[in-house]
């Protein structure tokens, strides 16, 4: 009789264990998604900052070239 009661208890707890397992798995997926989203956000911010720096350097080079080319034509 004791074995039958244990089997009945195990059958009742199996859905609870499965539910707990699935909930843990979903929590892990959410955590991984959040971490990946933060990584991508950080990479996008870094890219934007680098792009702004390159655009600034390009503008400075254009100004320097314009200055040099106008100074050269003034000598003629």
**Residues 11-57: tens digit of each pLDDT:** 667 888 899 999 999 999 999 999 999 999 999 999 999 999 999 99
Judged against a pLDDT cut of 70, whether residue 6 lies above it is answered with no
User: How many domains does the chain fold into?
Assistant: 1
Per the structure block, which two tokens stand in for 69?
């080319």
Tokens 């009945």 correspond to 8
In this predicted structure, what is the pLDDT of residue 14?
86
Which residues form the domain of 69? Answer: 1-76
Per the structure block, which two tokens stand in for 24?
């843990």
In this predicted structure, what is the pLDDT of residue 7?
58
Judged against a pLDDT cut of 90, whether residue 74 lies above it is answered with no
Radius of gyration (Cα) for the chain, nearest Å?
A: 33
Beta strands in 1-76 (DSSP E): none
pTM exceeds 0.75 = no
In this predicted structure, what is the pLDDT of residue 43?
98
């Amino acid at each position: 009789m004791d074995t039958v009661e244990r089997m009945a208890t195990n059958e009742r707890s199996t859905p609870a264990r499965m539910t707990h397992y699935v909930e843990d798995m979903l929590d892990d997926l959410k955590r991984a998604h959040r971490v990946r989203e933060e990584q991508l956000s950080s990479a996008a911010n870094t890219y934007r900052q680098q792009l702004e720096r390159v655009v600034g350097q390009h503008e400075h080079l254009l100004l320097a070239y314009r200055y040099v080319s106008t100074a050269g034509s003034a000598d003629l």
